Amino acid sequence: MTELAIDVHGLNKSFGAKHVVRDFSLQVKRGEIYGFLGPNGSGKTTSIRMICGLLKPDSGSGVVLGHDVVRDTAAIKREVGYMTQRFSLWEDLTIRENLEFVARMYGMPERKAAVDKALQELHLFERRNQLAGELSGGWKQRLALAACMLHRPQLLLLDEPTAGVDPQARRDFWEEIHGLAARGISVLVSTHYMDEAERCHRLAYILYGQLLATGTPDELLHLFRLATWEVSGASERLAALAPRLHGRDGVSHVTAFGNTLHVTGEDEGELERAIAPFRDEQGLRWREASATLEDVFIHLMQSTREPAP
């Protein structure tokens, strides 16, 4: 069995005149949690759908779970679990009825035993007779994960699975994902949350359909030598300060983080000279800080131009 669950090269996909994914290449190891990041419209979902056999690439090659990504899409779909952004099960059916219906669609033998096992593993058994439409976002998410794990896939593709659920539900979900990875299941998950990105073994950042950077969270954190200062104060002072800093020589970007601003630049000396006129202003507190993953991704986004059509 190959070490790689996903090994694709040069995938391209266009819709009409719009080139959505450009020369996309990705390698994901078995048992690895791979985070997939990028703004809305960057090509993440299209890339995931090509990997799981739902979309045929216009060009490119590769294998997913040993199956050709162009010719063997039916085989890939049988061995992959795909969890979409939106809850896509039947709200007028109970939890058990939903899982039984999914099991019938896969033509699974011993469906009752498989459904019972899924209910137990995802802690859904006590709610098995509850209508899916009555569930909170976190429980709907857990049901969706149970449904895409029902046929025992070796690869999970999760498209922003925690959007709209509370922090505790997100934390519980990630504990489940790490448990699955420990059993050798590979996971490719797209997310907008930086705390989730830091839970992944490796990350990829996509923009304008192009893969810009890959690596461990620590490797990406040191992708650029970014200098960062954090300034705190009253919200109205920070709101007035941000536009005065934007565009100054030495300042790459200014980003709000709660009750602080992160002021980031590529050259430490230039950045210090840029912020010097503001350091002694009353009501502002400045301190040197370390760049975060979000600083790195914002820097990547702002320094990359959209390719010509």
Interval 209-226: pLDDT, tens: 888 899 999 999 888 888
pLDDT by residue (tens digit) across 134-147? 988 888 888 998 99
Work out the pLDDT band at 258, boundaries 50, 70, 90: confident
Asked whether the predicted pLDDT for residue 62 surpasses 90, the reply is: yes
Asked whether the predicted pLDDT for residue 1 surpasses 80, the reply is: no
d(CA 297, CA 203): 11
What's the confidence (pLDDT) of residue 89?
A: 84
What's the confidence (pLDDT) of residue 106?
A: 84
Average pLDDT (181-192) is 91
Work out the pLDDT band at 32, boundaries 50, 70, 90: very high
Work out the pLDDT band at 300, boundaries 50, 70, 90: confident
Average pLDDT (81-107) is 88
Helix axes 137-149, 95-105, angle to 10 degrees: 30
Q: Exposed e or buried b for every residue in 55-89, given b needs 16+ CB within 10 A? A: bebeebebbbbebebbebbeebbebbbbbbeebeb
**Residue that wins the pLDDT comparison between 24 and 172:** 24
Asked whether the predicted pLDDT for residue 270 surpasses 90, the reply is: yes
Average pLDDT (74-93) is 87
What does the mean pLDDT of the chain come to?
A: 89
What's the confidence (pLDDT) of residue 109?
A: 83
On whether the CB atoms of residues 216 and 29 are closer than 8 A, the answer is: no
Ordered by where they begin, the domains of the chain are 4-221 (3.40.50.300), 227-290 (3.30.70.920)
What's the confidence (pLDDT) of residue 309?
A: 62
Asked whether the predicted pLDDT for residue 227 surpasses 80, the reply is: yes
Strand-pair partners of 257: 260
